[in-house]
Every structure is written in structure tokens, then in C-alpha cells.
Amino acid sequence: MTMESDRSGSITTRRQLLAAPLVGAGGGLSSRFDTVRLAADGSLPASLDERVPNLLDRYDVPGASIAVIENGEVTWSGAYGSADPADGRQMAEDTPFQVQSLTKSITAWAVLKLVEQGELELDDPVGRHLTSWERPDAAYSWADVTVRRLLAHSAGLPTGGYEGVPLDEAPPPLRKALSGHADGPAARPTSEPGEFRYSNIGYALLELLLEDVTGRDFTAYVADEILEPLEMDGATFVATEGLRSELATEHFVDGSPVPARHGPASAHSGLYATAADIARFVAAGMETSGEPVGRGVLEPEHVAALYAPTVETTGFYGLASDGAGLGHFVETLSEGERAVMNGGQGSGSWHWFHAVPGTGDGIVILTNSERSVQLIADVIEAWTDRSGLPSQSLTRARSWIRLPVWILVGVAAGLALRLGYGAIAGTRTFAPLSDRDRTTRAVLGTLAIVTFGLWWTIGRETVAFFLPVIAEWVGLALSAVVALLLVTVLFPKTNRGEPT
């Protein structure tokens, strides 16, 4: 399977890219929210070459690596920005990343391989196959913790994960971690199995399950049964010295570098891979003219099981998907096609793949910053437009997330006009101690100050973690509203009244 570099000539894709800039007053706010637009030659790769460097600058993201899939084949890959700004190392197409939770999708293939081989069933209670570890007591029945529910994040296991250690140190043993002795909760059902509850610990338990069933090391089994047959040549769970020197350096929201770490479990976030490696994996779930779905690693019906919605997603996950499949998230598009996706987020990175197996289209985006969610959404929107696909929940959610900015801008404009009219007409005057509407003004002033304080102490940091540019605009607009409310409190209506 060959790929052409974005520097050696792009491959013209099949459909025309639609420009989708958000128009705003004066073009200022709009330009900050602009998306990838059609390049002169009409191809998505050329458009990405033109615009992704601008997106990196706009969102303050050091670098990104992207790969595109068409007709079930990896047709293009490109790299932008810096892999490590501190030492001047540029991003390259073969730069490896720790792909975080994208690993879960590969783990799901490995588990389905055991199902295909008759070693276990999806609805088996996990305890039936755990032979090397004693399950801790739990408030809910272990009998309801099945292989399927672990894969779909609906087994009731805790959220969170285990504390990592530097790559040159050995992490605690997996069984010790699962027992709750490695800076993380024990692997046991702590809520009613059957409802969605994202759990890294559930995948750590699947790692032990695979080892107990096969008698082999998890990473060796996955390498032999999944990575090598799918020609994921740059993918590995082993952080050799050579890999460490090439690994993309991750960055916190504030731009500071994040030292690479690893933990007791590999199944939920331990894979290192390039964008092209992940693209080959995503393409393996699609049919081409010469190769079947599953590429001979899994039968088509087992790939279909991975992509079938198992439980309805909630919270952040519900914004970007309809449900959780097995190691994947899924969405039914407006034209009836099913999209599959997964994201990976670590302390310093965001990664994403998105695919529509029925059309053979897909894209992989790997980044080395926590500030990358908006960049990813912009690129996904460009890809769907260029591929002639319906809009995805991820990009629609991004549009709705912008709505508070426009609402706050509208409120600020209304307050400013009202105050301006009062000043010109002489119906408002500086009189903070006036008896006029004292209670209402006191409530408004208190509300403004409390809202301002909550935003800058709690809300801003939370929103900035996912949407840093949106957070900046919300902060500016909210500050304007608060300031105008305080002016309104200090400049009450005079006895002459104010026309309504």
C-alpha cells in the first residue's frame, strides 16, 4: 500500500470541497473561527497544505500529522508544524505519537480475534476467563461485567486510570494496579452495569483477560495478530530509545511540554504509532476492490460487531456520537450511512480518527497539544465537505458551542445601546447610592460579580482545556457584559424615567 507525500504531489480526491467560513461582524471574530477552505487545485491535500499551518497558529498548537483514506485505501499523508519546538525538530510524516485512547480500538480488534477463534464469547462474564487475579468484592454483581460491556464502556467500572511513570522507569505490575495499589481505583463494578460510563480501567481488565486466555503478553499478541498483518509498521507498544528520540513532544494548554510517561496497562492508551499506521488500521474496516473488510485479520461480521452501537453515549461523548460500539464510537448520518470514530486524549495531546466505512472515506489527525479540539473539528469539517459526506456531530457540536459567544455579544450590544441612549437622553445619571430600583440593581451587581469570579476561577480553565479559542472569546464577551451591567447599576434611571 503506497502513500504520496504532501510535498511530492497531492492526490486529487473525488468531490469538490465546500468552503465553510463563519461570517462575523467586521470579519474579526469570523476569521478566528474560519475553517479549511478549498485550495486552487481543488484537492483536500492542497487545502490542508494551505490552511493547517494557519490553524496551528490560530489555536497555538505546535504540530499535527494527518492521513486521508479514500475508497478504503490510504491515499495521502502530511505533517505540519513542530514535533518538538524546544529543540527545533519539525513534524514529519513518520513522527510517532503516543496515540492514547485510539489504542482501545486496536485492543477491541484483538479481543474480537479471540471471539473469532472461539476462545471466548462477547456476552461471557469476564470472571469466567480471569485465572491469574482475584477479583475484589464489589457492590454490583461481577456476573454482569461482560466482555461486550467492557468493550463498550458499560460494565460499571470506575472512570479515570493509573498514574504513569517516566519512560525510563518500570510501571507497577498490571495485577497490582487492578487491585487498587497503583495510584488508581481497583477494577470492580462501582455502578450498575449496562449504562455508559467511560473507563480506562475496563480496558486494563481486558488486557489481563487477553493474557489469561492466550497465555501470552498482551503487547506481543496484539503485535503478532493485529499490527503486523495490517502492515502498521511504525506501531509498537515498546518505547525504545530510538522511538523516544523521535516521539512527538506533547504540550499542556499553556504550551509547556509534557514528559512522556507510561503506566501499568497498555490496552487503553499504550500504543505508539504514526498517522499512516492508524490510517491503515481504519482502512482495514472498509472494503476495497481487491481486499475484504477485515483484511483477513477479522471476518466482516466481527468488524460489523465492532461498529454496531451497543449503548447510548452521554455527556461529552454524546455530543460527538450516537452511541458506543466496541472500542469505537458510532453515529448514523443523515443519509443513513454509519460513521465510526474514536478520540485519544492525554496530558498534552488530542488525536482523532473518523471514517464512513460504507463509502470508504476516512481521516486521521494526530496532534501534540491539549489545545487541538477546535483544530480537529475544523479539519473534520473540511474532510466531510470535500468527500461529499453529511455533517458530523463533532462539527455540529462545535457550531453550537460557539453560540454562547454570539449570545454574549448580543447582550453586550443591547446593554451598550441602552446605556448610550440613557446618557444622550439624560435619563441616566451616576448615582450608585440612589434608592431607584435599589434591590434590582443590587441583585444585578452581585450576579455580575459572582459570574465574573466563577468564570475566571473555574469556568475559563475548564472550557480552555477543550476549547481554548472559544474560551478566550467567551471571556472577552462576558467581561464586556459584566462591565456594562456594573455601569447600569452605577448609572440608574433618573426620576424623568426612561422610555421603554
**pLDDT, tens digit (0-9, with 9 covering 90-100), for 328-348:** 999 998 878 899 999 999 889
pTM of the model: 0.80
Of 275-279, 389-393, 496-500, minimum mean pLDDT range: 496-500
Q: What was the pLDDT predicted at 315?
A: 81
User: For residue 17, is pLDDT > 60?
Assistant: no
Q: What was the pLDDT predicted at 427?
A: 84
Q: Of how many residues is the chain composed?
A: 500
Q: What was the pLDDT predicted at 479?
A: 87
More confident residue, 447 or 189: 189
Please report which confidence band the pLDDT of residue 25 belongs to, taking 50, 70 and 90 as the band edges. Answer: very low
User: For residue 27, is pLDDT > 70?
Assistant: no
Count other Cβ atoms within 10 Å, centred on residue 118: 7
Interatomic CA distance for residues 138 and 190, integer angstroms? 7
Of 18-32, 199-213, 431-445, minimum mean pLDDT range: 18-32
User: For residue 411, is pLDDT > 70?
Assistant: yes
Please report which confidence band the pLDDT of residue 397 belongs to, taking 50, 70 and 90 as the band edges. Answer: low
What does the block give as the cell for 210? 487477553
Of 26-30, 184-188, 194-198, 380-384, minimum mean pLDDT range: 26-30
User: For residue 251, is pLDDT > 50?
Assistant: yes
More confident residue, 428 or 500: 428
Most confident of the following: 76-90, 280-294, 485-499: 76-90
Average pLDDT over residues 203-232: 97
CB 279 within 8 A of CB 93: no
Please report which confidence band the pLDDT of residue 458 belongs to, taking 50, 70 and 90 as the band edges. Answer: confident
Interatomic CA distance for residues 30 and 289, integer angstroms? 42
Most confident of the following: 364-373, 461-470, 488-497: 364-373
Q: What was the pLDDT predicted at 306?
A: 97
Average pLDDT over residues 7-15: 29
Please report which confidence band the pLDDT of residue 277 belongs to, taking 50, 70 and 90 as the band edges. Answer: very high
Q: Mean pLDDT over all residues of the chain?
A: 85
Q: For 280-327, what is each residue's pLDDT tens digit?
A: 999 999 988 788 999 999 999 999 999 999 999 988 788 788 899 999
Q: Most distant CA pair in the chain: distance in Å? A: 87
Average pLDDT over residues 217-242: 96
More confident residue, 274 or 439: 274
Of 107-116, 134-143, 429-438, minimum mean pLDDT range: 429-438
